[in-house]
Structure 1
């Protein structure tokens, strides 16, 4: 997945200046806009990333935008110290007037965290549906009944056959069920 940066500020000229700064430091900005609706539209077309936004856009405040933002995007609020002190702790903030080093380091850190989270989520085994789990359970039961295996041994047998044949466990369980039912 590609991480992207979207900038939403009330003055489009300011957003373009920040895009130029980020481009200079090697970041690619996917969209620049001055309204929350445009920011959300841009975000919906992207895999994930960071939304840099101001306190108040043309059509909504940052808190409204946060409510509508998908989980795969993080917000970086650029605002005055007073606004930052009232911001929720879930939002990272950069104080105005903006320091280029702070902005670049914060965006870099946020993009790295998002990448790490994606890699971690990718490593998690996906949950099997009820139907898929049922195939495996039925195949285990049949192996336990017919071959007098324990539940652990039946599971390991399906797992080993799955690895040996290069198919996933659900397909292997379906093959075991077909083979054992055909032999009846």
Structure 2
């Protein structure tokens, strides 16, 4: 689940930012005044964005960033003199005073970036167990020798049969081996 957490020691400031974002249709999960509250709220999210000020009653933004998961992005809203000392990695900054337009664009940019990362993660090729890969290779070799197929054709045959039968590639390889070995 995705959401936005806003953390400022002054609740009125946090509520103003919440209103700006919600007016644009962005999902604000929670408004917090301490880092501990923000961490608790972040535990309920798979990913999200923390929009925060420089310092809260119980910690500063660098500590909060350290305790947040990598799936959480952070936008620090602070005056220019706070930036002169640098900022923690994984933190995007927005100088005070800021325009609502800049904040909304920053949040939208981060949201798109997170969606791209999520998609990219889904398409990362998973390594098979050696036993499973050996089973698939054995089925392909049997198809190649008995049906005069190339390695590519045998693999495509296993994939298509797997999809048609709504089985995994491993189950299909096992079926091919049991049927053709008889």
**Which bin holds the TM-score, normalised by the shorter protein?**
0.7 to 0.9
Indicate whether 1:59 and 2:61 are aligned: no
Indicate whether 1:93 and 2:93 are aligned: yes
Aligned to 1:119: 119
The 2-side partners of 1:30 and 1:144 are apart by: 56
Shift of 1:74: 0.8
Q: How does 1:13-162 map to 2 (within 5 A)?
A: 13-85=12-84, 86-88=86-88, 90-122=90-122, 124-130=123-129, 131-144=131-144, 150-162=150-162
TM-score by length of structure 2 reads 0.82
The 1-side partners of 2:117 and 2:51 are apart by: 19
TM-score by length of structure 1 reads 0.81
The 1-side partners of 2:95 and 2:22 are apart by: 20
Indicate whether 1:178 and 2:164 are aligned: no
The 2-side partners of 1:89 and 1:179 are apart by: 57
The 2-side partners of 1:35 and 1:138 are apart by: 59
Structure 1: which 5+ runs fail to align? none
Shift of 1:8: 1.3
Aligned to 2:6: 7
- Say whether the 8 Å CA contact 2:158–2:172 is kept in structure 1: yes
Q: 1:83 to 1:118 in 2, by over 3 A?
A: same
Structure 2: which 5+ runs fail to align? none
Q: Supply the RMSD in Å over aligned alpha carbons.
A: 2.5
Q: 1:89 to 1:40 in 2, by over 3 A?
A: closer
SS at match of 1:50: strand
Shift of 1:128: 4.0
The 1-side partners of 2:157 and 2:75 are apart by: 50
Q: 1:23 to 1:157 in 2, by over 3 A?
A: closer
SS at match of 2:50: strand
SS at match of 2:56: coil
